[in-house]
Amino acid sequence: MKILFLADPSPNLENWILGIKNVDSNIEIRVKSLQFPSDFKSKVLRVFQWIELIFMIDKIVEDGKYDIVIGYRIPSYGFLASFVNNTKIVIAAQGATDIWPPSGLMAKFKRILMKRALRKAHLIHAWGNEMNLNLQKVYPCSHKILLMPRGIDKSIFNNKNRKDIFSIDNNYVYTFITTRALSPDYNHQKLIWAFYEFKKFNIPFIFNIVGAGVLEDSLKKLVNELDLEKEIKFRGKLDIMQLSFYYQKSDVYISIPVTEGVSASLFEAMACGCYPILSNLPSYDEFIVNRKNGTILKNLDPKAISWEILNSIGSQDYLGRASTFNFELINKIADNCKNMKLFIAKYRELCAE
């Protein structure tokens, strides 16, 4: 079987491809991406190349004799995939909604693109139920949807090297982690202010910020201004083995984006035993029961966040039970090896039709 991915390079894409190859190394995979990045300066050039590819994509697929074409992110690469003939088309939503922001002229235009992509696709990946519902608001397509997350590599993200449940005393240093891109949608500035407030409780802690992005310099400046250099550490981009190491060192994973689909980083953290603290988004309701296996923040005011952080670490038994529950949950729903076997079986079924 030969698969062509239409997608921008990203860790999610890399993990998807690696998951397929781990299950069946004989599957041949190629990736076709737009030449220009999706930043503001390259937007116009990117659009022109995208339009050009609409007229070329069918020939590219035909020349490569691909069995499956996968368009990752529906209004862009999914729409591009919809111009492929005589080959099975698979498309995948990237977030809770691929239309963001959800209103305005551009949102209306993207809905038109999405509707065509959903209509032409033979199979649609939805990683979670909120994605599923949002897709069907654009175009009724439940009969085409495979509702299942890609999952994570349990051989890497697990709690095997995690220390035993700690004894809480005045000397224990709590470790918190966030692993999201340093961009406005992820509210790092609010987290830094929240830990400024949390420091007033005189509880020793380290907050590891993993990742890179456009806000890195301004966030480092804020940490310096608030005199938090000893507590807040910027770790930059990490490879997956380093990432697993930091998760397993951490007590709490914290992420407060303004929008979210099914987060691979959340699954990774849960598999490694971290207790999650998250913003109040519908996509989390499928996996997190508030104050059972995580905390859902109803208020993103930094003082309110600091109190919720304090409450979350108040009981070692509570953290231990949540960690065990989350590990078992990820084993059940987000084992990449199990889920990829089902993906591949579905792709082969499409090819046989």
129-182 pLDDT, tens per residue? Answer: 888 888 888 988 999 999 999 999 999 999 988 876 555 666 889 999 999 999
- In percent, how much of the chain has pLDDT > 70? 93
Count the alpha carbons within 13 Å of 121 in the hemisphere toward its beta carbon.
Answer: 35
β-pairing verdict for 2-6 and 252-255: unpaired
Domain locations in the chain as residue ranges = 2-151+335-352, 174-333
More confident residue, 199 or 107: 199
pLDDT tens digits for 76-103? 999 999 999 999 999 998 765 566 666 7
Per-residue DSSP letter, 40? S
- The position carrying tokens 């988004």 is 281
pLDDT value at position 327? 92
Q: Which two tokens stand for residue 245?
A: 């190491």
Domains 2-151+335-352 and 174-333 alike in fold: yes
**Number of other residues whose CB lies within 10 A of the CB of residue 218:** 12
CB 311 within 8 A of CB 290: no
| Fold annotation for 174-333 | Rossmann fold (3.40.50)
Average pLDDT of the chain, as a whole number = 92
Q: What percent of the chain has pLDDT over 90?
A: 75
12-21, 28-37, 231-240: segment of lowest average pLDDT: 28-37
- What's the CATH class of domain 2-151+335-352? alpha beta
**What is the CB neighbour count within 10 angstroms for residue 6?**
27
Quote the CA–CA distance of 353 and 157 in Å, as a whole number.
Answer: 36
Q: Is the pTM of this model over 0.85?
A: yes
Q: What is the mean pLDDT of residues 258-275?
A: 92
CB 340 within 8 A of CB 23: yes
- As a whole number of angstroms, the distance between CA 178 and CA 191 comes to 9
pLDDT at 322 over 80: yes
What pLDDT band is residue 261 in, cutting at 50, 70 and 90?
Answer: confident
What does the pLDDT read at residue 167?
57
Answer yes or no: are the C-beta atoms of 89 and 121 closer than 8 Å: yes
Residue 345's pLDDT is 97
pLDDT at position 313 over 60: yes
